[in-house]
Each structure stands twice: as C-alpha cells, then as structure tokens.
Amino acid sequence: MLPLRTLQKLSSRFHSTIATSSIDAREVAKFGDLSGEWADELGSFHALHSLNRIRVPWIVDNVKQGEKTSKRLVDVGSGGGLLSIPLARSGFDVTGIDATKQAVDAARLSLQSAPLQRSRIAERLRFEHTSVENFCQKPENKSAYDGVVASEIIEHVADLPGFIGSLAELARPGAPIFITTINRTWASKVAAIWLAENILKIVPSGVHDWEKFITPVELTAHLENAGCRVAAIHGLMFHPIGNHWTWIESTQCNYALLAVKK
Amino acid sequence: MKLPGGTIICARNASSYYDAVIVGGGMVGNAMACSLGAKKSFQSKSVLLLDAGRSPSLSSFESGAPFNNRVVATSPTSIDIFKKLGVWERINSHRAKKVNRLFVFDSCSTSEIEFERGQNEEVAYIIENDLIVGSLYEKLADYKNVDVKTGAKVEVCSIPNGLENMATIKLENGDVIETSLLIGADGVNSKVRHASNVDYTTFNYNQHGLVGIVNIETANGKNETAWQRFTTLGPVALLPLSDTISGLTWSTSPEEAQRLKQLPADQFVDELNSALFSQDDQLPYVNQAIFALNKMNPFRTETFGRKAEGTTPPHIISVQDKSRASFPLGFGNAHSYITTRCALIGDAAHRMHPLAGQGVNLGWSDVQILDKILGDAVREGADIGSITYLREYDSAAQKHNLPVMVSVDLLNRIYRTDAPAIVAARAFGLNAFNSLGPVKNFLMNYLSAHR
C-alpha cells in the first residue's frame, strides 16, 4: 500500500509524461525485489557493503561534524543507497543522486522501511533521479555541500572532466570530495576484470569496462582543472575470503582519493 | 504516525522506538546498559533497559547490615570492567571482600590445589549480587541516552527474519516497543531466547545449590581465602564476606539440599563442619601414593613450612537466620547467541555450574565483547541489528565461554564420584598440577587475562 502510493507520487513528480494509472503492480513488485537485492549484505553487492566498513569511517573522519545541525553530503551515484543510508545513520544529512531510475526507486523504497522510518533516519535522507550535470545546475545545489561523495562511480561515466567539474561545483569552498575507483593497470585488468568477474564472481560479469578505468594521475589533473587540491591517495584491497577490505599502500588496483575544493 | 499524504493519525496504542532495548535488569543487563550509556559512539542513540523488578537500594549495603545470601566471586577481569564503567568505587565503598588465595581440596584424598596472589593482588572479590545491580543502576542516572523502565514485564517479543523489519517487545501492560537491536539479558528462562528460536543445549545436574550466610572462626582472625572442598555430592565453597562472615555455596543432591535447608540451625552447622572436615571418605592408598610422589618431586617447595593460614578451612560457628535458600543447577548453551536484530548475553545465552564462580563473569565478558562490536557497527554506519556485526560477537563470545564451561562441567563430573580409580586419577592430576608452579601460574594468568 505504502510503496505503491509512494511510487505513484514519485512517478507523477519526475515522469510527468507517464500517467499515474500506468503503474502496475508487477512493476512495484519488481522494484521491491530490486530493493531487497541492494539491501542484501551477502548478495550481489556484498563487496560494496563490506567496503562501507572502511569508507564510512574515512568519510566521517574527514567531514567535521556540525555542532547543532547535520552536515550536508551529496552521494553521487548512490545506486540503491547502500552508502547514503550508512552516512545518514552516521548523522549526516544526505542527498543521493543516480541516473538509473530503478536504482533510485529501490533506494526510495528502502526509505519507507520501518527501521529507517522509526529511527527517523529517513528524515535526513532523500534520493533524486537525475544526472550530476543537471543536479549542479540548480542554484540551491551550487557550493551547497559540506562533502561530496563519488564512490565506485567515475569508472562508469562517459564525460569524466564534465563529471568531475560538476562534483566540484557542488562542494562549498574547503569541503572534501571523496572518490573511490579502480586504476587502469595490468594488475586491475587481472584482478578487477578477470578475477572479480569471471573467476570469483564478486561483481556481475560485464559491469566494468577496463578502458574506462582512470589512473590517479589523470584523476588528479581533472580535479585540479576543476579547482580542487588532492589531499591524499590511498590504495584499497579487497579480500574475497572473509569479504573485507583493507587500506594498502599500492594504488595499482582499487584506490581512494580525498580532494578539497579550493 | 505520518502518512505520505501529510495526514497525522494518532494510534491508540502508540509504540515507542529505541535503537537498542535490553531485556533484564540483573547484573549483566545493567552492566550492558551502563556500557552503552558511557559509549561515545552511542551518545546519539537511544537505549532502553527493561527491568521486571525494581532495583535494590544501596543503603541496605552499609557496613553492619546483614549480608544478602546471593554473592559472586568477581574476577580481576570483571573488576577491570567495573572500573571502566565507573562503578567500582561505588561498590568498593560499600563492601567488597578481597580474596587473595583460593584453596581447593578433596574429601576423598589429600590432594589439593592452591592459587595465590601477592598481598596487593586479588584472586577475586566476593560481592553481593544486589550491591552490583544497585551500583550499576545508580550509575545509569548519569546517562541521558539510557531510559529505564522498572516493573516492566515482557509478555512477548518478536524478532524479524531480516533487517527490513524491527524487533518488537510487548509488555504486560500493553505497551509496544520497537527496536533495531533486542538484547536478551533475561536469565536462564530467557523470553528473548525463546523468541529468537536459536537451538539451546541444556541438561540438569540433578544437584541443587544451597546458599547461606555463615559466621566463622579462623586461626589468625583473617578471612582472605576462598575455600572449596569437593565431596561426592558436590563441592562446598566458603566465600569470605568479612573477617568473621562467609557466604556458603553448597552443591548437593536436591533431596539433601531440601533437608539441609530445613534443619535446625545448630544441626545444619554440624553437618556443614562435617562436610568440610570429615575424613571418612579418604582413600588411604591414594594418599600414600601422593605422599610418596610429593617426596620425589623436585619442584614442590611448599611441602614444608606451611603458610600461616594453613590448609584447613575455618570452623563454622553459626548460620544466619533465614539466610538459607536453594536452587537447581544446570548447564545450558545457546548454539548461537545471535539472530538478526537479537543478541543474547549472560545466563540467557549460557548457564553453568557455580563451582568455579565463573557464570556471571562470562556474562560480563559478553557485555564487553558486544559493546566493542556495536561500537564498530555505529562507527561504520551500519544497522546495529545487522548479522554481519553480531556474528563477530557470537564467535568471539562462544570462543571465550565454551572452554571454561566445558572444563567446569568436567570438573563437576570427575569430583562427584568416589570410585577409587577416578579418585586416584584426579588426585594425581590435581597434585601434579599444584606442584608445577610455572604451569599453574600460566593458567592463573590465562583465567584472569584480557587485562
């Protein structure tokens, strides 16, 4: 009952071309299934869930918490909300944006779940179906965020310089920008594509395109062009046995980059 | 409740929400509440402690007031937990008796084992249960993030299969409470454990524990040794409460416990002294063998020149009025201490024979482990009811508790017989163990480890 009404409202707000009546129960049920998959700690997205165990403290430690009001974060490429929700739990006011409508619907559906509603975490969490370019055009979003997060997303975008420029526009001066992604090296070709997709099946096959991976040097150049200073780059390593991540020195495969908007 | 349309409706039985709800206001439940109350990462979370009774007032533990018959041997590790929780001063300023020596002996042979620490170190402190509960409860008033409901009897709990739903607790007065994490600290017959549907192994020892408060007399006027004598019906332990008073824990058959409880005081004292001193069950050939072995053992230094307190327990002079009570003894362990949105701690998760005085100490160890992993969960932005984290509590707590529980169970079994072969085996084992100073020190340090 509740999800159906919510979806009807959402569809009328963002997709005015679709008549409210065209929503059918099967679609709702499908979104429900998808939502379950995003939230399943041991399902397809288990490596992203376990990545929270180090990326959430990394973000929390680098955004100074507000005295009275919650600090505002934008999570670009929020998917099913599996990073946005933990960040909201940690006390931030979080806006998650994603270009995939199904993912945003799934995230919104999970906002209606009892645990997020009853703990009132849902009050400081919202999801928008939009591109980062459109989102940062809105005057209320320009230089409006105390932290910008783009985790495991930049390897999926078409126009990287434009994307990075938009991230920088969202951050207020002095605010941190958090990026995690995969380096373009032989090591990542073996580990992130061949091992992860074909052998260990950590991520669905075909989810990553090695050509689109970005080296730390390229990323640093884009950020500097966008008026940001790179503060730190650390390597990340996934341990398939035990499903956990650790910080490492080498940035040959996965890495995390912290930049600051000048 | 606010619906998407913006209408506000007021439900008749409005339910309340807490991030964590602890069911059970005993020694372990109160310690859990204090631990979360003091926790920095929990300052923005809400915690509720549901106490079926009402907490004891600390004024009944001033010096001179009669001792309560339920006492615990609190290990050095647990004392450290109390210090960390900021309640140790409160407990110690009332009355906690330091014990620096533990002496274990056998009614069937002269074998014995002695654990001793230096003058300033303790083997344990003997403290009344209710003094611990009262001190922790008072401390809770300092914490804004912890609410307490006294006289709150749980009617039924429900625990969801997945994180998309909440755990709910319905009280007998009709109140409904929802929570992200239900912590069961509600003892042996835990309602939370029943609701969680975890497998539970349990059996009875066909023994009852008889407790009481006795007045005693020692040779040097000091009472700093905890004594335990194994008899064929079960161990008898004297735990010092003051220089002239000790707490008694006497494990025996249910029939004996019933009979002893109802005996006139003077007859009870006679029987207790006999249980502590009788030589009727001694097996002379085992003793001769031990004597011979001791003479040959180069490590054994303390054969000559016994310590002042010696090797005989104090004489019982009298038993305090109405201090005798008894309860059945059993073993129990939940195969898993957790499910999604639920964690069991203390006796709700595990129960053991009181002969080593470890039961509640294991409960406080649970509190410490659960407290740590909940801190990790909050720091990492996770749902505190998530099984990813709770599973770490389960595996660490089981790993810590099971070896202790199984060893104590085994001890109880091998000492409940007077079959000569087993008496000889345990006598030689204990005797050899007592003689090997380095091995004994290692074990003593292991048991009070994690400091």
- Does B379 contact chain A (CB < 8 Å)? yes
Mean pLDDT of B74-94: 92
pLDDT at B15: 67
| Chain A neighbors of B163, CB-CB under 8 A | 39, 41, 115
pLDDT at A16: 32
Task: Dump pLDDT digits (tens) for B1-44.
Answer: 333 433 333 343 456 999 999 999 999 999 999 999 999 999 98
Q: What is the ipTM, given to two decimal places?
A: 0.81
Bridge partners (DSSP) of residue A72 are: A93
> Is residue A4 over pLDDT 50?
no
A244 annotated to a ligand binding site: no
Yes or no, beta carbons of A57 and B388 under 8 Å apart: no
The C-alpha of B231 sits at a distance from chain A's nearest C-alpha, in angstroms, of: 49
Mean pLDDT of A129-153: 94
A98 annotated to a ligand binding site: yes
Determine how many CB atoms are found less than 10 A away from the CB of residue B288.
Answer: 11
Which of B7, B158, B176, B380 to mutate to probe the A interface, most A CBs <10 Å? B380
Among A155, A143, A177, A182, residue whose Cα is nearest residue A59: A177
* Of residues B42 and B424, more confidently modeled: B42
> Is residue B231 over pLDDT 60?
yes
* Of residues B327 and A46, more confidently modeled: B327
* Nearest CB to B381; choose among A2, A39, A90: A90
> Is residue B221 over pLDDT 90?
no
Q: What is the CA radius of gyration of chain B?
A: 24
Please say whether the beta carbons of A80 and A34 come within 8 A. Answer: yes
Yes or no, beta carbons of B388 and A56 under 8 Å apart: no
Mean pLDDT of A214-234: 96
pLDDT at B19: 95
Query: What is the DSSP secondary structure assignment for residue B56, as one 8-state letter?
Result: P
Give the confidence band of B444 by pLDDT, cuts at 50, 70, 90.
low
Give the pTM: 0.86
pLDDT at B220: 82
Yes or no, beta carbons of B180 and A52 under 8 Å apart: no
Among A50, A52, A63, A53, residue whose Cα is nearest residue A258: A63
Closest residue, chain B, to A10 (C-alpha): B4
The C-alpha of A227 sits at a distance from chain B's nearest C-alpha, in angstroms, of: 30
* Nearest CB to A86; choose among B164, B382, B385: B382
Mean pLDDT of B392-397: 95
Task: Dump pLDDT digits (tens) for B296-324.
Answer: 766 655 544 445 456 788 889 999 989 99
pLDDT at B416: 76
User: Which of A35-44, B235-244, B426-435 shows the highest mean pLDDT?
Assistant: B235-244
* Nearest CB to B17; choose among A41, A87, A118: A118
- Does A60 contact chain B (CB < 8 Å)? yes
Which of B47, B164, B181, B389 to mutate to probe the A interface, most A CBs <10 Å? B164
Least confident of A13-27, B187-201, B209-223, B334-348: A13-27
What whole-number distance in Å separates Cα of residue A173 and Cα of residue A229?
11
* Of residues A54 and B286, more confidently modeled: A54
Task: Dump pLDDT digits (tens) for B127-136.
Answer: 999 999 999 9
Among B326, B307, B303, residue whose Cα is nearest residue B256: B326
> Is residue B182 over pLDDT 90?
yes
* Of residues A22 and A191, more confidently modeled: A191
Query: What is the DSSP secondary structure assignment for residue A190, as one 8-state letter?
Result: I
Enter the tokens of residue A3.
Answer: 């999800």
**Domains, chain B, ranges and CATH?**
16-57+69-447 (3.50.50.60)
**How many CB pairs below 8 A link A and B?**
62
pLDDT at B311: 73
Closest residue, chain B, to A111 (C-alpha): B164
Domain A2-14+21-261 is classified in which CATH homologous superfamily? Vaccinia Virus protein VP39 (3.40.50.150)
* Of residues A40 and B48, more confidently modeled: B48
What whole-number distance in Å separates Cα of residue A187 and Cα of residue A185?
5
A169 annotated to a ligand binding site: no
* Of residues B353 and B106, more confidently modeled: B353
**How far is Cα of residue B160 from the mean position of the Cα atoms in its chain?**
30
Task: Dump pLDDT digits (tens) for B149-171.
Answer: 999 999 999 999 888 889 999 99
B contact residues 156-175, partner A, Cβ 8 Å cutoff:
163-166
pLDDT at B301: 56
> Is residue B264 over pLDDT 60?
yes
Least confident of A16-30, A145-159, B414-428, B430-444: A16-30
The four Cα atoms B393, B398, B404, B410 give a dihedral, to 10 degrees, of 160
A155 annotated to a ligand binding site: yes
pLDDT at B445: 58
> Is residue B449 over pLDDT 60?
no
Q: In what order do the strands lie in the sheet with A125-129?
A: A125-129, A93-98, A72-76, A147-151, A176-182, A254-261, A228-239, A244-248
Q: Where are the alpha helices (DSSP H) in B61-175?
A: 76-85, 88-94, 129-140
Yes or no, beta carbons of A115 and B164 under 8 Å apart: yes
Closest residue, chain B, to A120 (C-alpha): B17
| Chain A neighbors of B19, CB-CB under 8 A | 119
> Is residue B380 over pLDDT 80?
yes
* Nearest CB to B381; choose among A52, A113, A115: A52
Burial (Cβ within 10 Å: 0-12, 13-18, ≥19) of residue B401? buried
Bridge partners (DSSP) of residue A129 are: A98
Please say whether the beta carbons of A80 and A86 come within 8 A. Answer: no
- Does A18 contact chain B (CB < 8 Å)? no
At residue A44, what are phi and psi to the nearest 5 degrees?
-55, -30
Yes or no, beta carbons of B380 and A118 under 8 Å apart: no
Mean pLDDT of B270-280: 85
Domain positions in chain A are 2-14+21-261
Q: Where are the alpha helices (DSSP H) in B86-232?
A: 88-94, 129-140, 191-196
Residue-by-residue DSSP string for B117-135: --TTS-SEEEEEHHHHHHH
Yes or no, beta carbons of A119 and B17 under 8 Å apart: yes
A contact residues 92-111, partner B, Cβ 8 Å cutoff:
110
* Of residues A48 and A37, more confidently modeled: A48
Q: In what order do the strands lie in the sheet with B124-128?
A: B71-74, B124-128, B97-99
Closest residue, chain A, to B376 (C-alpha): A53
Which residues touch A261 (CB under 8 Å, ≥6 apart)? A148, A168, A171, A172, A173, A174, A175, A176, A177, A227, A228
* Of residues B244 and A26, more confidently modeled: B244
A46 annotated to a ligand binding site: no
Percent of chain A predicted with pLDDT > 70? 84
pLDDT at B178: 95
Please say whether the beta carbons of A138 and A64 come within 8 A. Answer: no
Q: How many residues does chain B have?
A: 451
- Does A90 contact chain B (CB < 8 Å)? yes
Yes or no, beta carbons of B387 and A87 under 8 Å apart: no
Mean pLDDT of A45-67: 88
Closest residue, chain A, to B389 (C-alpha): A53
A152 annotated to a ligand binding site: yes
Give the confidence band of B281 by pLDDT, cuts at 50, 70, 90.
confident
